[in-house]
Chain A
Amino acid sequence: MNEPDILGASLARSGISRRSFLKFCTAMASLMALPPSAAYAMADALKRAQRQSVIWLSFQECTGCVESLTRSFDPTLEQLIFEMISLDYQETLQAASGEAAESARKQAMKASYGKYLLIVDGSIPTKDGGVYSTVAGVSNHDLLVEAAKGAAAIVAVGTCSSFGGIPHANPNPTGAVSVSDIIKDKPIMNVPGCPPIPSVIAGVLAYFITYGKLPELDNLNRPKVFFADTIHDRCYRRPFYDQGKFAKTFDDEGARNGWCLYELGCKGPTTYNACATIKWNGGVSFPIESGHGCLGCSEPNFWDKGSFYKPLPVPLADNTPIITAAALGGIAVGTAAAVISRKHQTSISEEK
């Protein structure tokens, strides 16, 4: 066990063929809209990579984010993500408890100091000395500050650790804040969502292990590969919006015909996430496809933005080229999306 834990060797030990691995990398590259050639580079880099040490801290959270990842769409692909990382501490998944668990965390932090990836779900209470959430007598705040010191990067999984989320909602009795409110000197990536899409979590982990850095981030530190477009931009009901066809109640003719849910309070136009393209439950559907407007769960303060059923103020800002193109008609939408998608691929290939 003294040999470095090389990923290729550990995959072989688990009986995972290199073809399976290449297939996994191709699927991940496709998911992240990387150019297809990136899959080979990814497979090659990952094979040689050491298994990435990951320490996962859970603070004020409901465990929905962990559920999302561990009940992900495809048991075999999910298994591969766990093959790629060495999950050294995760309260829900680890067998150890008490002193043994805490000493495992400290040992992992020491062994991979400066190199481990710190994943955080849940917000951090700061009121009254942080007494509202503690682990082994240590406040979440102190745990985070200690674990952040030796982290190569931090991934805030879920809206709570990204932006404060539901614990942060008015009146915020625990003084809950996000990871980036506390940690200022480390690269932090936010993967918001309540919960985030499992393959998005898997995808960004694969990216970090392959390239040794976080993917390109937007102004809220979200990975652009998944958060570049709004739900509205990519919604299959978008043509109805353009035609001015809106459901006025949840059981009127418009609702039955699948018209746009904008007037029923859908937050799709102001919500950046990949639900409309990747979808949920193995691509079965996403909330709008099931007849309910988007709640905007991946945006900051989504819980305090007024009613989920109150329409967004008009007019909508023309915040992306797709919206402008959409005014020209359905075909233009497709073409613009294709052009943007290609530009995106080109910029990623140039970045490498």
Chain B
Amino acid sequence: MSGLDNIGTKVVNPLPSPPEDGLSGNADAILHEIVALLEAYTATGQTGAIDLHSLPLTLDDYELLRITLADGEVHAHIDAIGNSEVRETLYPGVWWVTYYNAEGDIVADLIEVTAVPEILKAPADDVREGLAHLRELLKQEQP
């Protein structure tokens, strides 16, 4: 045992106290923006996205978004340079897409309004390369 335990320490929280309810008003703004994006998507098919990193959100703002949007029917997990979580919300066509790096930190956090987020679709070039590999494999196995 070192003598370090005898030194008195004081744990402080340097973060400024948040507003009364902890909400900045930005979560509400995002929810209204989602409505606008959904209106555009249903009317013209124009897809849209909101980068959640582009707005200052408090923890309570996030919580409000989580509770309001809630989980829908689809939850996909992508394993490509770290994890990615793709969740459809309770509102069909509204997706919450979160990208993590290999260390598990969030590198991008998006709300997407579309039928299927681009990241879930198999890219045509990858499909072609996969086909070539599979053909090659079958050719090798033939006697």
Contact = CB atoms under 8 A, between A and B. Distances in A.
Given A76-B102, A335-B24, 10 more contacts: A12-B125, A23-B107, A27-B99, A27-B107, A31-B107, A236-B16, A256-B12, A331-B25, A337-B55, A338-B29
A168 B7 CA distance: 44
A76 B25 contact: no
A341 B55 contact: yes
Contacts of A345: 51, 54
Nearest to A11: B125
A36 B129 CA distance: 28
Contacts of B78: 19, 23
A174 interface: no
B15 A338 contact: no
Contacts of A236: 14-16
B123 interface: yes
21 contacts: A8-B125, A22-B118, A23-B99, A24-B81, A26-B119, A29-B108, A30-B54, A30-B109, A36-B51, A73-B101, A73-B103, A77-B81, A236-B14, A256-B12, A257-B14, A258-B15, A282-B105, A283-B105, A333-B56, A338-B26, A345-B54
B135 interface: no
Interface string A317-339: 00000000000001101110110
B56 A75 contact: no
B129 A74 contact: no
B91 to A, nearest CB: 18
Nearest to A16: B81
Query: Which size bracket describes the interface of A in this complex?
Result: 35 or more
Nearest to B80: A20
A239 interface: yes
Contacts of A47: 125
Interface string A147-179: 000000000000000000000000000000000
Given A30-B53, A283-B105, A258 B81 contact: no
Contacts of B19: 330-331
Contacts of B110: 26, 30, 36
Interface string B102-143: 110101111010000011000101100100000000000000
A37 interface: yes
Nearest to A75: B102
A342 B54 contact: yes
A215 interface: no
Contact of A334 (B15, B24, B102): B24
Interface string A52-79: 0000000000000000000001111100
B64 interface: no
A337 B102 contact: no
A224 interface: no
A164 to B, nearest CB: 34
Given A8-B125, A19-B80, A240-B16, A256 B101 contact: no
B14 A74 contact: no
Residue of B49, B50, B109 with highest tally of chain A CB at under 10 A: B49
A331 B20 CA distance: 11
Contacts of B126: 17-19
